[in-house]
Amino acid sequence: MAKVVCVLYDDPEDGFPTAYARDTVPEIKSYPDGQTAPTPSAIDFTPGELLGSVSGELGLRKYLEGNGHTMVVTTSKDGPDSVLEKEIADADIVISQPFWPAYLTGERIEKAPNLKLAITAGIGSDHVDLDAAMKNDITVAEVTFSNSISVAEHVVMQILSLVRNYIPSYQWVVKGGWNIADCVSRSYDLEGMHVGTVAAGRIGLAVLRRLKPFDVHLHYVDRHRLPREVEEELNLTWHETAEDMVRVCDVITINCPLHPETEHLFDAEMLSKMKRGSYIVNTARGKICDRQAIVDALESGQLAGYAGDVWFPQPPERDHPWRTMPHHGMTPHISGTSLSAQARYAAGVREILECWFEGRPIRDEYLIVTGGKLAGVGAKSYSEGNATSGSEAAAEFSAA
């Protein structure tokens, strides 16, 4: 029997919900590329429930304990005294989320001789040292596409919020004001702007499709060029490099995985090549942007705004400069963990576990690492390497 350690974010401060704003969420059976939504043999939750926090347990306890496995659920994940640090020593499986990542560093993996499966409940497995996973024959899997559209919707919301200066305008209302000039002095129309995405995979392409009706000029850079018919349908301009694309765009949305090739891609040099007064929305990974370079660009006016919901580390220190920098629209990492998305990624985790325990192949599109090498979607999206360095700073959040 297996020991499963599941790391999830905290329950709401006012307690686990006893009722929800809506009674149902739409059932999504397949995704735009034809991939089917997760198909476990059963689920032990009602779609629309809060599953991503510790009391929600991803709806897995009944299934796991009913089959004789041990399940440990915790929110304590950072530092030498964390529950994860203590429980990983004899864990067979670790389940984590991008929103509250259990950083599986090489050091932690060396302390976990039984660990054979790391599952990301959602998409994005950069919190796992993939080199160490390959070296130790650990399978890494994620629930690909389960929350891609959720993130794409968040991107469009944040682009409009920045360009239209929504957040400061809302705050004037809350403060009892009617300061129209203050609100519109940084407000523009998105129409006619040039918008580019770094990566046009599942999320990036979904963003492009949602922006086309706004009558903007669409650009993209990706190491896998889209089919000609897609470029023609959306009137896309492809660029060979991110440097070429950012020079002509008013808005950049970052939708690529984090790996050594993309770490700090948006540093001071890259930002200097952008149009003055550009905007960046980053819902990919915080470490793709250099934290101080972003602050400096906002303070100088090189950037007119920065938004997103990804930070490094996660959670960020309470004095992280992105909390207080000017003209930002940052949120906690929530874009991919709407209640709608949780139903899909929780079901996907159950599907992966069923396959693992029953000796059936895990879907190729869920695989990141297996058999000591990048595999499945991982072979297309990631590069070998380790992006977990520096994650120990997350312990400062709890310490504060």
- Beta carbons of 148 and 31 less than 8 angstroms apart: yes
CB 300 within 8 A of CB 327: no
User: Out of 202, 320, 333, 363, which one is annotated catalytic?
Assistant: 333
- Told to judge if 314 belongs to the known catalytic residues of this protein, a careful annotator would answer yes
Give me Rg for the CA atoms of the chain: 21
What number of residues does the chain have? Answer: 400
Which amino acid is located at 1 in the chain?
M
Catalytic site residue from 97, 158, 314, 342: 314
At CB < 8 A and 24+ separation, what contacts does 160-168 make? 160/190, 161/307, 161/329, 162/251, 162/279, 162/281, 162/304, 162/305, 162/306, 162/307, 162/327, 162/329, 163/187, 163/188, 163/189, 163/190, 163/193, 163/251, 163/279, 163/305, 164/188, 164/190, 166/329, 167/329
Q: Yes or no: say if 255 and 227 are a contact pair by the CB < 8 Å rule.
A: no
User: In sequence order, what are the beta bridge partners of 238?
Assistant: 220
Does 171 qualify as catalytic in the annotation? no
22 assigned to active site: no
Catalytic residue among 69, 97, 127, 147: 147
**Residue among 154, 239, 259, 285 flagged as catalytic:** 285
Cis preceding-peptide flag for 168 (omega within 30 of 0): no
d(C-alpha 382, C-alpha 125), whole Å: 9
In angstroms, rounded to a whole number, what is the distance separating the alpha carbons of residues 345 and 358?
Answer: 20
Whether 259 is catalytic: no
* Active site amino acids: 147, 285, 314, 333
